[in-house]
Amino acid sequence: MISSVRGEILSIGLDHVVIEVGGVGFAVQATPATLATLRRGEQAMLHTALVVREDSLTLFGFADADARELFGLLQTVSGIGPRLALATLAVLDPDKLRSALVEGNITVLTQVPGIGRKGAERLTLELRDKVTALAGPTDGSPAVVAPGALRNEVVEALAGLGFPAKQAEQSVDKVLSEGEGHTTSSVLRAALATLGRKR
């Protein structure tokens, strides 16, 4: 099991980062919030989980061990695979997710694309006793991106999380029309909040 990677950031994509470790570039899937804290050319360390499939080996990376623990815990529930677990952590930070599970807050859990009411109820039933409210604030100062490129990036990221393209575009346009100085991370979070209210 590869439990962490440390090295230079070679590149950052919409849903992954490539980190050089001992001369080898590892592609690590991560949430937008985690990616927003990373900078190309800088050193970084991510807590990782290796998911082995018959035709692939995929690394998933997290800013802290708490998020990685939740990632693994989510997958113990029937119907929750690594992609949906990562999408859950992209929409809900660890603290909010733990609170929702402990309180049985179905409304918050169904904000995640791919998790309906029955799935949310199953999550709370199976995980409520396994989680405890734990605050995990992160501090990041992502750079502001040009509006056009930013819009395309966020729409593509939302589509990757399972939202219909048209719905994603409308949500992003609404967020971008409300002020300036947006970052990819801030627009994505605001768009997710808007889409969550529509569900």
CATH tag, 65-130:
1.10.150.20
Q: State the span(s) of the chain assigned CATH 2.40.50.140.
A: 4-62
CATH tag, 4-62:
2.40.50.140
- Find out if CATH 1.10.8.10 is the number for domain 147-198: yes
Q: State the span(s) of the chain assigned CATH 1.10.150.20.
A: 65-130
Q: For residue range 134-188, what is the model confidence (pLDDT) as tens digits?
A: 434 444 444 444 456 677 778 887 877 778 888 888 888 888 887 666 677 778 8
Q: State the span(s) of the chain assigned CATH 1.10.8.10.
A: 147-198
Taking the model in full, what pTM does it have? 0.64
- Which pLDDT belongs to residue 141? 41
* Better-predicted residue by pLDDT, 161 or 55: 55
Q: For residue range 17-53, what is the model confidence (pLDDT) as tens digits?
A: 999 998 999 999 999 989 989 999 999 999 999 998 8
Q: What is the DSSP string of 17-84?
A: EEEEETTEEEEEE--HHHHTT--TTSEEEEEEEEEEETTEEEEEEESSHHHHHHHHHHTTSTT--HHH
